[in-house]
């Protein structure tokens, strides 16, 4: 079933919501699937991108209906984030939800080089992929209505150590912890902060992870629900739920949308992402 068919079951669940989605590159991006699902559920959306990625995001935006505005925003540039928050306020009067789908690590943070990776590379990965969540929360949470709002991040289960994923593992663990602290600090304002731990999907970001193909195959073979790495629809539909008022009492949560792979006791994979004996 396609993303739109799934979302049709929850048509209008996000009616009237204004949602800012970061991290859209191509139509295969998880963030693109989330943006499309939010539109199908009745939300008005806007996207962010920056630098050389802007042209990719703008082309992808043309695949959405209505075509959303694309703001230029580098999430590690606090002045730029503040400027976009001001522009969003001028455009919409406020915002109901923000989706953090931002992740980057220098090449030497991945691929089995964990013990040799320098702090400078790790610092970049944490700044872009983790600390930026706090930066977005600081600037956009004041724009959310008194009745509440939502922030959502994307992670890859950081409770275990994955072969070759290396410093992106601790980086995602930091993101998950930041989500919990934001949930604590923003709860009085009825702002919910949650995370989706998605299974591996065929995205540009995933292809940058060494050994992704073997990981993808192992996941598809061993997940109880037979995970489809080409279908971001289940993640997008879960995002719609967490951004909607149906999840009004859910915060600080990590929702696994991974075909059930996380629940298996014997889920270790070897250095080539094949099952261990």
| Closest C-alpha among 198, 143, 152 to residue 175 | 152
Q: Residues 81-104: what's their mean pLDDT?
A: 98
Residue 147 placed within a domain: yes
Active-site residue among 28, 89, 134, 165? 165
**Any domain includes 271:** no
Q: pLDDT at position 223, please?
A: 87
How confident is the model at residue 60, as a pLDDT? 97
What are the DSSP E strand ranges found in the chain? 18-21, 44-49, 69-72, 97-100, 149-155, 191-198, 254-257
Query: Catalytic site residue 172?
Result: yes
Query: Hey, is 218 helix, strand or coil?
Result: helix
Taking only the tens place, the pLDDT of each residue in 174-205 is 999 999 999 999 999 999 999 999 998 877 76
Would the pLDDT of 138 be above 90?
A: yes
Please enumerate in sequence order all residues whose Cβ is within 8 A of that of 117, keeping only pairs 6 or more positions apart, or say none.
Answer: 108, 109, 166, 167
Residue 182 near residue 226, CB atoms below 8 Å: no
pLDDT of 216 strictly over 90: no
Residue 62 included in any domain: yes
Encode pLDDT of 205-214 as tens digits.
666 676 677 7
Which residue in the list 17, 134, 172, 181 is annotated as catalytic?
172
Q: What is the DSSP letter of 268?
A: -
pLDDT at 10: 61
- Residue 28 annotated as catalytic: no
Task: Using the Cα atoms of residue 272, residue 273, residue 275 and residue 276 in order, give the sign of their dihedral.
Answer: positive
Q: Residue 158: inside a domain, yes or no?
A: yes
What is the rounded distance in angstroms from the CA atom of residue 199 to the CA atom of residue 13?
A: 25
DSSP assignment letter at 131 = I
Exposed (0-12), middle (13-18) or buried (19+): which is 53, by Cβ within 10 Å? Answer: middle
* Residue recorded with tokens 């049709």: 8
- Domain that includes residue 196, residue range: 3-263
Q: Is a pLDDT exceeding 60 seen at residue 144?
A: yes
Residue 96 lies in a domain: yes
- DSSP label at residue 110: S
pLDDT of 273 above 50: no
| Residue 185, domain member (yes or no) | yes
DSSP E strands in 3-96: the ranges are: 18-21, 44-49, 69-72
Give domain status of residue 269, yes or no: no
Q: Is the confidence at residue 3, as pLDDT, over 50?
A: no
Backbone angles phi, psi at 182, to 5 degrees: -65, -40
pLDDT for residue 73 is more than 50: yes
Residue 267 is encoded by which pair of tokens? 């889920």
Res 237: pLDDT: 97
As a whole number of angstroms, the distance between CA 91 and CA 136 comes to 18
Q: Is residue 272 part of a domain?
A: no
User: Is 59:138 a contact under the CB 8 Å cutoff?
Assistant: no
pTM assigned to the model: 0.91
Lowest model confidence (mean pLDDT) among 16-20, 24-28, 188-192, 205-209 = 205-209
| Count: domains in the chain | 1
The CATH number linked to 62 is 3.40.50.720
Q: Is 22 a residue whose pLDDT tops 70?
A: yes
Q: Residue for token digits 């730029």?
A: 80
Average pLDDT over the chain, rounded to an integer: 90
């Amino acid at each position: 079933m396609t993303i739109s068919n799934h979302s049709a079951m929850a048509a209008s669940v996000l009616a009237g919501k204004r949602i800012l989605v970061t991290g859209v590159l191509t139509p295969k991006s998880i963030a693109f699937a989330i943006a499309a699902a939010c539109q199908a559920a009745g939300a008005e959306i806007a996207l962010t991108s920056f630098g050389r990625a802007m042209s990719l995001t703008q082309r992808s935006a043309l695949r959405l209906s209505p075509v959303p505005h694309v703001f230029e925003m580098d999430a590690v540039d606090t002045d730029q984030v503040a400027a976009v928050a001001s522009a969003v306020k001028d455009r919409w009067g406020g915002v109901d939800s923000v989706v953090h789908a931002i992740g980057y690590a220098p090449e030497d943070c991945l691929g089995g080089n964990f013990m040799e990776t320098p702090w400078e590379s790790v610092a970049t990965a944490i700044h872009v992929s983790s600390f930026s969540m706090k930066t977005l929360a600081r600037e956009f949470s004041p724009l959310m209505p008194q009745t509440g709002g939502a922030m959502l991040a994307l992670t890859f289960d950081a409770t275990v150590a994955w072969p070759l994923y290396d410093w992106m593992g601790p980086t995602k663990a930091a993101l998950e912890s930041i989500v919990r602290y934001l949930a604590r600090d923003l709860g009085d304002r009825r702002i919910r902060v949650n995370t989706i731990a998605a299974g591996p999907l065929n995205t540009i970001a995933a292809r940058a992870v060494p050994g992704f193909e073997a990981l993808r195959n192992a996941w598809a073979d061993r997940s109880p629900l037979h995970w489809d790495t080409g279908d971001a629809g289940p993640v997008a539909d879960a995002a719609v739920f967490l951004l909607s008022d149906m999840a009004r009492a859910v915060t600080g949560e990590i929702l696994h949308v991974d075909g059930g792979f996380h629940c298996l006791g014997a889920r270790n994979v070897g250095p080539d992402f094949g099952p261990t004996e």
